[in-house]
């Protein structure tokens, strides 16, 4: 298989410099292209997308520094090397700040040019390999998601149904010891199903699929529906759950389905980790450039050393004497992904023994969305 020659673009106003560099590059088996000023050079960058660009700093019209900036806009992975006869420490530092890979002062020998070009192209190759591996990894993840969704979730659901039939006595009498073992097996399968569903939710958040469903919506309305739905579960645990009234502007651009998932998770956690006869308050607060939703509980709180990690995948806080949690450790990670897809942020303040407050910040809905 014939490999494509690396393209090197020389942008320099000196014809002799362009010609000499071209001859050296051609002898080394590279494709050499030239441009006599920055404007023509940027046009060729756009058309050719070269692997490496040699840029003279001192040129009529657009300066080499401006060319450096623009090249990165076209493709941040293009290797830029500055060549100039007015080399100073200051200009070298400035060029590096603007994304130059290296700096070659004039005059230079053919070997010096070859060495710096070879290093630059090797850097380009490594960048391309990294990107290729990233794409391959993403494709493998997508294929694995499809496999999990179709090849695992469906048969597991069927097995759970069989367990329900057996435990319900529809396949014959079940002895107490058998019932105990079958119940444990069913519970483990249900936990596995929950993990699979949470993991699939997380991968969908990575894909950004919820953006297409954005519309203008009322946070108060979303929260009211969630609180009404979860209230019986809170009452069963003797925990009060209250949505504080709010009369201000509460509209954001969002997807009510995934936002329901976020706040259901936060409120359910507040119930699960609360103290007996505890309380949960949900409130909306207007900020200068955002709208905040607070979920405050009177629970056991989170030790300070755990706070930086609670939004990480599979991270669960386990305190002394606590039995193993049945959760998947993905709920807060999924919530964070959803909030970030809405252009927002999620934070937590907590003190052991006194409870936790999770706060979600959303950017305001645009004016045209509010009035349209």
Give the pLDDT of residue 227: 95
Low-confidence ranges of the chain (pLDDT < 70): 1-3, 87, 145-146, 148-150, 199, 201-209, 314-329, 365-372
Give the pLDDT of residue 168: 86
Give the pLDDT of residue 206: 55
Give the pLDDT of residue 348: 93
The answer to whether residues 221 and 252 touch, using CB atoms and an 8 Å cutoff, is no
Instruction: Give, in order, the Cα–Cα distances in Å from 334 to each of 39, 69, 93, 150.
Output: 47, 37, 42, 21
The answer to whether residues 54 and 12 touch, using CB atoms and an 8 Å cutoff, is yes
Tens-digit pLDDT profile for residues 172-219 = 888 889 989 999 888 888 878 877 777 676 666 654 567 778 889 999
Q: pTM here?
A: 0.54
Give the pLDDT of residue 80: 94
Torsion of CA 163, 232, 333, 306, to 10 degrees: -110
Cα–Cα distance between 53 and 58 in angstroms, integer? 15
3-state SS class at 284: strand
Give the pLDDT of residue 58: 84
- Domain locations in the chain as residue ranges: 7-108, 135-207, 210-371
Helix-helix angle 110-147:15-27, to 10 degrees:
60
Cα–Cα distance between 289 and 301 in angstroms, integer? 29
The answer to whether residues 28 and 7 touch, using CB atoms and an 8 Å cutoff, is no
3-state SS class at 293: strand
Cα–Cα distance between 372 and 319 in angstroms, integer? 50
Residues near 96 by Cβ (< 8 Å), separated by ≥ 6? 103
Quick count: other Cβ atoms within 10 Å of Cβ 21? Answer: 22
Give the pLDDT of residue 209: 66
Give the pLDDT of residue 202: 65
Helix residue spans in the chain (DSSP H): 15-27, 38-48, 64-74, 89-97, 110-147, 153-167, 176-206, 219-236, 256-272, 331-341, 367-371
Helix-helix angle 256-272:331-341, to 10 degrees:
150
Give the pLDDT of residue 303: 87
Q: Which of 193, 194, 222 is nearest to 293 (CA)?
A: 222
Annotation: CATH topology of 210-371: Heat Shock Protein 90 (3.30.565)
The answer to whether residues 24 and 110 touch, using CB atoms and an 8 Å cutoff, is yes
Cα–Cα distance between 22 and 19 in angstroms, integer? 5
Domain 7-108, CATH class in plain words? alpha beta
Q: Give the angle 71-75-77 at the CA atoms, nearest 5°.
A: 105
């Amino acid at each position: 298989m014939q490999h494509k020659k690396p393209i090197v673009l020389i942008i320099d106003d000196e014809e002799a410099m362009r010609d000499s560099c071209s001859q050296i590059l051609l002898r080394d088996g590279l494709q050499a292209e030239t441009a006599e000023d920055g404007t023509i050079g940027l046009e060729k960058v756009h058309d050719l997308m070269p692997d490496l660009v040699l840029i003279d700093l001192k040129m009529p019209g657009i300066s080499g520094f401006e060319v450096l900036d623009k090249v990165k806009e076209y493709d941040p992975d293009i290797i830029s090397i500055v060549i100039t006869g007015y080399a100073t420490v200051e200009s070298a530092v400035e060029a590096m700040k603007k994304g130059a890979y290296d700096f070659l002062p004039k005059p230079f020998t053919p070997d010096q040019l070859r060495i710096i070009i070879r290093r630059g192209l090797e850097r380009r190759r490594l960048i391309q390999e990294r990107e290729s591996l990233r794409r391959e990894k993403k494709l493998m993840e997508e294929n694995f998601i499809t496999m999990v969704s179709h090849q695992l979730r469906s048969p597991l659901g069927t097995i759970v149904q069989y367990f329900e039939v057996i435990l319900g006595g529809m396949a014959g009498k079940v002895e107490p010891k058998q019932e105990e073992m079958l119940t444990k097996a069913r519970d483990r399968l249900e936990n596995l199903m929950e993990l699979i569903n949470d993991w699939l939710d997380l991968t969908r958040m990575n894909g950004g699929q919820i953006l297409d469903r954005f519309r203008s919506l009322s946070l108060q309305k979303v929260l009211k529906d969630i609180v009404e739905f979860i209230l019986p579960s809170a009452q069963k645990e003797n925990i009060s759950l209250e949505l504080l009234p709010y009369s201000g502007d509460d509209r954001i651009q969002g997807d009510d389905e995934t936002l329901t998932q976020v706040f259901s998770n936060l409120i359910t956690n507040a119930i699960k980790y609360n103290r007996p006869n505890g309380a949960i308050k949900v409130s909306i607060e207007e900020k200068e450039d955002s709208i905040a939703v607070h979920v405050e509980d009177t629970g056991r709180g989170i030790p300070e050393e755990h706070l930086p990690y609670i939004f990480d995948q599979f991270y669960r806080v386990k305190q002394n004497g606590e039995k193993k949690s049945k959760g998947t450790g993905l709920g807060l990670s999924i919530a964070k992904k959803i909030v970030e897809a809405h252009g927002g942020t999620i934070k937590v303040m907590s003190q052991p023994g006194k409870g936790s407050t999770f706060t979600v910040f959303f950017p305001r809905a645009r004016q045209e969305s509010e009035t349209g």
